[in-house]
Amino acid sequence: MLKKILSCLREYKLPTALTLIFILAEAGIEALLPFITAKLVKDVQESAPMNDILRIGIILTILAIISMMCGATAGFTASKASTGLSKNLRHDMFEKIQTYAFENIDKFSSSSLVTRMTTDITNLQMAFMMIIRMGLRSPLMFVFSVVMAFIMGGKLAMAFVIVIPVLVIGLFLVSKYAMPAFRSVFKKYDRLNESIEENVRAMRVVKGFSREEHEKKKFGISADDICKDFTKAERIVALNTPLMQICLYFDMVFILFVGSKMAIIDHAVDIGQISAMITYGVQILMALMFLSVIYVMVTMSAESAKRIYEVLVEEPSLQNPEQALKIVTDGDIDFENVNFKYSAQAKKYALANINLHIASGQTVGIIGGTGSSKSTLVQLIPRLYDVTEGSVKIGGVDVRNYDIDILRNAVAMVLQKNVLFSGTIKENLRWGNPNATDEEIIEACQLAQADEFVQTFPDKYDTYIEQGGTNVSGGQKQRLCIARALLKKPKILILDDSTSAVDTKTDAFIRQGFKNFIPETTKIIIAQRISSVQDADMIIVLDNGSISAIGTHEELLKSSHIYREVYEQQTNGGDDDGQS
C-alpha cells in the first residue's frame, strides 16, 4: 500500500529529499546549540577574554541563523511535496474512477468517493508533511539530545532514564485508546456527505414537501456522531499535555536539585552544564511529544491511506480483450440465452432466458411495468454490464470482443436520468462529437425537436446551462440529450424513456424524424406510453425480467394481455405520461 501511494510523488521526489536533508541539518545544529551555550556560560563565569566570548557568540548566532534557514526551507519544500502528492493522488484517483464499470461504481457510493478524494487525501497530505518534517526531526532531536546530555551531564542525565519510559508508555496508551474513535469517524464522514449530496440534489423535493426540518435533523444526527467521536478522541489526546508537563517539571526539579548539589558541594558540574541539561531535557520531551502527535496523525491517515489505496487498486470489472475489434459493421443485435444478475451473490436473475434478434435499421419498442428490467436489457448492449450467462452480439460479434470505446461510440444511449453539464448548449452537444460543426449541431437539434426552443434564447446555442440543467425544463433537457446522442452518428440509438417529459405531438415528430433521416440506424425506444412505440417494427413486452411477448402493435393487441391492458388504460383516460 505504502509503495503504491508513494509512487504518486513522481515529480515531487526532489522536494521530499531536500526536506529530509534540511531537517537533518536543522536537528544537528539545534543539538549543538546547548553545548556551545554551556561553553559560553562557562567562559563568562570564568571571566574569559572578551574575544573568546565574542567568537563563541558569533558562532552561536551564525548556527542559529543557519538552523532557522534550514527549518524555513524544509517547511517550504515539505509543503510543496505534500501538496504535490495530494494533487497527484486526486488526479490518479479521478482517472481510475473514469475506467470503472458500473459494477465498480456500485461497489463505492458516490459520497464515499467524494470523501476519499477530499477528506482522506487531505488527512494523508497533512500526515505526509508531518512525517517528512517532524517524523525525521523528532527522532533525530531525541537521539542527539540524549547523547549530548550523557556526554555533558553524566549523572544528571539519569533524570531522562526515569522520565523517558514513563512518557513513552503514557503516550503509547493515549494513542492506543484514541485511535478507535478516530478510525470510526471516516465511515461517518461518508454518511454526512451522503446526507448533504441527497439534500442538494433533491432540494426541490425537500422544499415541495416542506421537509427542511427533517433534513436538518438528519444532518444534525450525522454531524453529532462525528462530533462525539472527535470529542472522545481529543479528550484522550489532551492527556498528552499534563503528562508532558509533569515529566518536564520533574526533570527540571531533578536537574536543579541534583545539579545544584553537584555544583556547590562536589564541584562536578558548572552552571553552563546545568543550563544545557535543562535545554536538552526540554528538547527530549518535546521530541517525544511531537512523536506522539505524529503517531496519532499517522494512525488516522493510515485509515485514509487504506481507503485511497482501495480506489487506486480496484480493477475495472470490464476489460478490453487482447485482440479487440476496432470496427462495428452494422446495428444487428442478438441476445442468445442471456441471463443476468447485478452481483454474483444475488439469488434472482434480473434478466432470464432472453433470446432476441433485432435487424439493423429496425425500430424496436420495449414496454413493461416498473421493475421489469427494461433499462437493464439495453445496458447490456453497449456493455455497461457483462452478461452473467449467454452472449450479446452486435454485427454478429460478441460485444466482449470489441474495443470498449469503439463499441460505445457505435451505441448512443439517452438514459432515464438526463444529465447536462455546466457550460453552453453547444459545449454540451459536442459531448456527442467534439468535432461537430455548427451546421451538424443545428441539424441534430432539428431532428430532436430542440432547435425551435434553442432559437428563442437570447444567446441561442451559446446559452449557458447551469449545473444539472436546472435552467431548462425537463422536456427541453430530454431533447438536448437526444440531439447530443444523434451527433455521435451511431449504429444503434437507445432511448430509455427519454421522451417522457415531452408532449405526444413533439414525441411523434421526433419518431418521424428518426424514420425519415436515420433509417439505417437501429433504434430502440423504451417507453411507458403505447403511442411512443406503436409504430415500431417490433415491440417487446417485458415482465419480471423475461420476454412476455414480441410482435407488432396489432399482433400484441391480440396475443398479449399485458400489452392490451396497458393500451386500454391509456386510451380510456388512463395516465398517458407514466414514468418508468
pLDDT at 268: 64
Domain count, the chain: 2
The tens digit of pLDDT for each residue in 330-341 reads: 889 999 999 998
Domain check: are 515 and 470 in the same one?
Answer: yes
Q: Are residues 88 and 166 in the same domain?
A: yes
Query: Both 406 and 545 in a single domain?
Result: yes
- Check residue 561 and give its pLDDT: 87
> Does 356 lie in the same domain as 223?
no
Indicate if 59 and 197 belong to the same structural domain.
Answer: yes
Q: What is the pTM of this model?
A: 0.69
Verify that 356 and 474 share a domain, yes or no.
yes
Q: Do residue 273 and residue 365 come from a single domain?
A: no
- Is residue 540 included in any domain, yes or no? yes
We report the CATH number of the domain holding residue 464 as: 3.40.50.300
Asked if 91 and 195 sit in the same domain, the reply is yes
Q: Are residues 292 and 352 in the same domain?
A: no
Answer whether residue 433 is part of any domain: yes
What are the angstrom distances between the C-alpha of 366 and each of 238, 377, 378, 410, 462?
Answer: 64, 10, 10, 20, 35
Predicted pLDDT of residue 477: 85
**295 near 167, Cβ under 8 Å?**
no
Q: Quote the pLDDT of residue 149.
A: 74
pLDDT of residue 57: 84
- Cα separation values, 215 from 123, 197, 202, 339, 457, Å: 28, 12, 11, 40, 36
Q: Is 321 inside a domain boundary? A: no
**562: in domain:** yes
Is the separation of the CB atoms in 134 and 298 below 8 Å?
Answer: no
Predicted local distance difference test score (pLDDT) of residue 14 = 92
Alpha helices, DSSP H, located in 314-437? 374-379, 404-410, 425-429
89 domain-assigned: yes
- The parent domain of residue 518 ranges over 333-571
Please give the Cα distance from 192 to 470 (Å, whole number).
Answer: 25
Contact call for residues 43 and 53 (beta carbons, < 8 A): yes
Statement to judge: residues 260 and 378 lie in one domain: no
Identify whether 322 is part of a domain: no
Q: What is the pLDDT of residue 153?
A: 62
Residue 265 maps to a domain: yes
**Same domain for 22 and 117:** yes
Grid cell in block for residue 128 = 505526509
Please tell me whether residues 393 and 274 are part of one structural domain. Answer: no
Mean pLDDT per 10-residue section of the chain, whose length is 580 residues: 85 91 86 77 73 84 89 90 92 88 77 83 88 81 77 69 78 76 72 74 74 80 81 79 78 75 67 74 77 75 84 84 86 91 83 90 88 87 89 91 89 81 88 87 88 88 82 83 87 84 79 82 87 87 88 88 85 48
CATH of the domain at 22: 1.20.1560.10
